[in-house]
Amino acid sequence: MIKRYPTKQIFVGNVPIGGDAAIPVQSMTFTKTSDVKATVEQITALHFAGADIVRVAVPNMEAALALKEIKSQVSLPLVADIHFHYKLALIAAEVVDCIRINPGNIGDRKRVQEVVKACIERNIPIRIGVNSGSLEKQFEDKYGQTPEGMVASADYNIKYLEDLGFTNMKISLKASDVQRTVEAYRRLRPMNNYPFHLGVTEAGTQFHSTIKSSIALGSLLLDGIGDTLRVSMTGELEEEIKVGRAILKDVGIAKDGLNIVSCPTCGRIEADLVSAVSEIEKRTKHIKTPLDVSVMGCVVNAIGEAKSADVAIAFGKGSGLVMKKGEIIAKLSGDALINRFIEEVEIEAEKRK
Ligand code: SF4
């Protein structure tokens, strides 16, 4: 059982983060935020893909001024990502559900104070987003781009806000590699109880990001660390959400939908298992009830494997078996075999609703 680190709960819009809340999956648009139509389209696509929260970059005044219109056209909570420009933060804070800044790079104390005041007025949180590649000079000079430097920067920024009486915050500590990312989060975790936003920054292509994010985020989540996450990826945004959700499911935190166990196949294979699994995945996508199902290429290991599955299918020579909790309930061939298997999965899912 994963024992989650007890964190303070905050809200980004209507989405709780931290405490005993489910772990929301986030993403970030890559359109020019000033292009309202394109940004709204991307946010809508992310919503359909299952995102819980979306962040948009606010690098200039056009982007800041577009936020109001964007916000009026979407229903997902919106986070504005701002570096250096406190005036942009002030405009964003009037509209969005959270702002991501680093107080240390927003300007002098008076300016940070103004931003904090605006966030308090609207009761919106701030994400302190530390990136190993953009540490404040004093930390980079002292520690280099190391976990120690990232933790020192986060701690400095946290205390900066706390000194201003602000505690409605979450923290991220991203590096572009697994070891520094994991170490930084692990080091910072016992130092405060703010919710953590997990992510590996600039994680690379879909393939590399999936691996890096699965290792880093998976390790942290198994340690009980992490209250929200983003898988960052050079590629399709919807894939970020898919991978994020899969990580939560595979570490055993999220329990929605089917957990499909399928064999890697070998010389004993009696069917085109790749096509069969992909057909099963497609036809069961709508099922949100947590169920363990197994799909095996022959009957050698199938009976044993089927014992721990709610519903199982095993392909044999010319025909195959459908099993429930290890009991054979049908021996069929051709389309009838997969059809019956899916029918049984649907019945089981319905029963457990
Ligand atoms: Fe090979 Fe059968 Fe095991 Fe699949 S279930 S890997 S086909 S022995």
Q: What is the pLDDT of residues 49-79, one digit of tens each?
A: 999 999 999 999 999 999 999 999 999 999 9
Spacing, Cα 199 to ligand 1 middle (Å): 36
Region of 325 (left: φ > 0; alpha: ψ -120 to 50; beta: rest) is left
CA 269 to chain centroid, in Å, comes to 35
Distance between CA atoms of residues 331 and 316, nearest Å: 10
Spacing, Cα 335 to ligand 1 middle (Å): 21
Distance between CA atoms of residues 107 and 250, nearest Å: 42
What is the rounded average pLDDT of the residues 24-45? Answer: 96
Reported pTM: 0.87
What is the rounded average pLDDT of the residues 90-105? Answer: 91
Token pair recorded at residue 270: 């009696």
pLDDT for residue 53: 98
Is 298 annotated as ligand-binding? yes
Distance between CA atoms of residues 322 and 132, nearest Å: 51
As a whole number, the mean pLDDT across the chain is 93
Backbone angles phi, psi at 55, to 5 degrees: -110, 145
**Residue 327 burial class via C-beta count within 10 angstroms: exposed 0-12, middle 13-18, buried 19 and up:** exposed
**Residue 107 scores a pLDDT above 80:** no
Lowest-confidence segment of 76-80, 211-215, 218-222, 234-238 by average pLDDT: 234-238
Are residues 4 and 17 in contact, defined by beta-carbon separation less than 8 angstroms? no
CA 307 to chain centroid, in Å, comes to 31
**Residue 155 scores a pLDDT above 90:** yes
Q: Which CATH architecture has domain 258-348?
A: 2-Layer Sandwich (3.30)
Domain boundaries, the chain: 10-250, 258-348
Q: Which one is the CATH code of 10-250: 3.30.230.10, 3.20.20.20, 3.40.140.80, 1.10.600.10?
A: 3.20.20.20
ipTM for the whole predicted complex goes beyond 0.90: yes
pLDDT for residue 226: 98
pLDDT for residue 139: 93
Regarding the beta carbon of 265 and ligand 1, being less than 6 Å apart is answered: yes
Radius of gyration of the chain measured on its C-alpha atoms: 23
Compute how many other C-beta atoms are within 10 angstroms of the C-beta atom of residue 231: 28
- H or E element in which residue 54 lies: strand 53-57
Regarding the beta carbon of 264 and ligand 1, being less than 6 Å apart is answered: yes
What is the rounded average pLDDT of the residues 1-28? Answer: 96
